[in-house]
Structure 1
Amino acid sequence: MKKIFKLTDEKKHEDRVLEAVKHDIRKYVKREKKKKLDDAKMTYWDFDCKVGATPDTAEVIAYDELIKALDAVKATGTTECYVEILAKVVAKPLKEIDEEEVSAE
């Protein structure tokens, strides 16, 4: 998803508009996570995110920091916010088996 959200609306309070943007983002991520993976045991969905006032000034951030970044953009007083979220398949890290646990059994 690459989208420019308006952070102001004449009929709504600014905080409610921001909450609607956050809701749209969460809904998109939830929809993407529901998509079937080829090997669900070995892979999972991860997201590359960018947030900023414009596409040129957008900064790369982790998905966990996306909502805080939206609040920071809103705090600057801009009327629009650019959000880019790209889903990607990532291999799960392998768990290391301790040799001591194996030999103890």
Structure 2
Amino acid sequence: MRKTFQLHVEGKNRDRVLDAVKHEIRKYIKRERRRDLPEGADFWDFDCRFGRTKEDAAVAHLSALTGLINEVAAEGGAQFYVEILAKPGKRQPRAAGAAEVHGVDAADGDVEGA
């Protein structure tokens, strides 16, 4: 999806237009995630770019898109550009003992605070 969304539409409430834009983006992501994965892939990953225009679009994380859209709307921006491209992803194994998981120390299995 490569699209410039207009937030000022004649005869439509700006808040409703903003909600419709977010809905369209979420719908696109859901549709892409339903596609069959290629051999060797674990999940669909997304390369995203966001900006007020296509020329000044910068790389953004998928989870940050809604916040960026809200910022443009709060500043009174008239439009913004979003680029979301799906690509197959492969999960990387975690390093042994690298992270604590939900209060359980990965090294010895003890629950913290007990």
Task: Name the residue aligned to 2:10.
Answer: 10
Q: Give structure 2 stretches of 5+ with no counterpart.
A: 98-106, 108-114
Q: What pairs up with 1:22-61 in 2 under 5 angstroms?
A: 22-39=22-39, 42-61=41-60
CA contact (8 A) 2:38 2:88 kept: no
Deviation at 1:97, TM superposition (A): 6.9
Deviation at 1:13, TM superposition (A): 1.1
Deviation at 1:94, TM superposition (A): 2.4
Structure ranking higher in strand proportion: 1
Deviation at 1:96, TM superposition (A): 5.9
Most deviating of 71-80 and 28-37: 71-80
User: How many residues are matched?
Assistant: 99
CA contact (8 A) 1:50 1:85 kept: yes
Task: Name the residue aligned to 2:83.
Answer: 84
Indicate the percent of aligned positions where both proteins have the same amino acid.
43
Structure ranking higher in helix proportion: 1
Task: Name the residue aligned to 1:21.
Answer: 21
Q: Please, what is the CA RMSD of the aligned residues?
A: 2.1
Tell me the TM-score normalised to structure 1 length: 0.83
Structure scoring higher RCO (CA < 8 A, sep ≥ 6) equals: 1
Deviation at 1:60, TM superposition (A): 1.1
CA contact (8 A) 1:52 1:73 kept: no
Deviation at 1:75, TM superposition (A): 2.3
Q: Aligned partners of 1:44 and 1:8: how far apart in 2?
A: 36
Q: Aligned partners of 1:97 and 1:38: how far apart in 2?
A: 28
